Amino acid sequence: MKPPKRLQPLVDEGLIDTVVRQLMSGKEAMVFVVRSGGETLCAKVYKEATQRSFRQAVDYTENRKVKNSRQARAMAKGTKFGREKQEEAWQNAEVDALYRLAGAGVRVPRPVNFHDGVLLMELVTDADGDAAPRLNDCEFTPEDARRHHATLVTEAVRMLAAGVVHGDLSEFNILLAEDGPVIIDLPQAVDAAGNNHAERMLMRDVGNLAAFFGRFAPELRKSEYGAEIWSLYVAGSLTVDTPLTGRYEHKQGAVDLRAVMREIEDTREEENERLRRMAGG
């Protein structure tokens, strides 16, 4: 296909040989399948962030570094320059998190390059070599649900051990590759130690996993891996090899798990409604 305008500079630079097809278009970005040096990759072309709420922006960007005080003031005021710098910060957050997590062995797409607002990375494929489906598009046996849930809980631990919380982990941004789940979409990733909302976000991420896979293996809905993982992290005793039980005795003043689960359900309903609108359009 003819290269879209945003991909033409990468073609001119020799970073992309050909654009094969558009893979998807979401609220954050458009993704294309491309060829580069004999390898099939995907190119994530970021859209302007016009659909994120102010609350989300504040929660996710807390303690993120900007280059100077002028940029920080502009971002706080919401000026055109500030919005441009905020969008740049969101893009850089995903790129930084992707490289960081790939280096830590987390199951994320292998990053290749970032140029002019376009992220080149590995194309995650299924057993037939086609683009891997999202978990939301898959059905599972109870056994497979438990297996994939265990894998993803381990990946959440591996991410936290690397100092990162995904912040928006759900069945909508996990792909099912030939060798298991792969985590994608990281522009909202937060620093676990530097963001006051990190605990709530981790609880929601892990709660999303329990809620989704609990459709196929109902006992997972009762697990409390999020609280267990965070308590071990705070105590400085969390490693990738730490055995987990999925049980946790809540202390007074702890995160309100019911409130977190309500937020999970609200988020899922909003995403389902968005997908229904897209299908109807």
Catalytic positions, please? 168, 185
DSSP state of 106: -
Positive or negative: CA dihedral 252, 253, 255, 256: positive
Q: How far apart are CA 279 and CA 32, in angstroms?
A: 19
Residue spans of beta strands (DSSP E) within the chain: 18-25, 29-36, 39-46, 111-115, 118-122, 164-165, 174-177, 180-183, 190-191
Q: What letters, b where the CB count within 10 A reaches 16 and e where it falls short, cover 59-90? A: bbbeebebeeeebeebbeeeeeebbebbbbbb
Structure tokens at 182: 């792969």
Please state the separation of Cα 192 from the chain's center in Å: 14
193 backbone dihedrals φ, ψ, rounded to 5°:
-90, -20
Instruction: Check if the beta carbon of residue 229 is closer than 8 Å to that of residue 156.
Output: yes
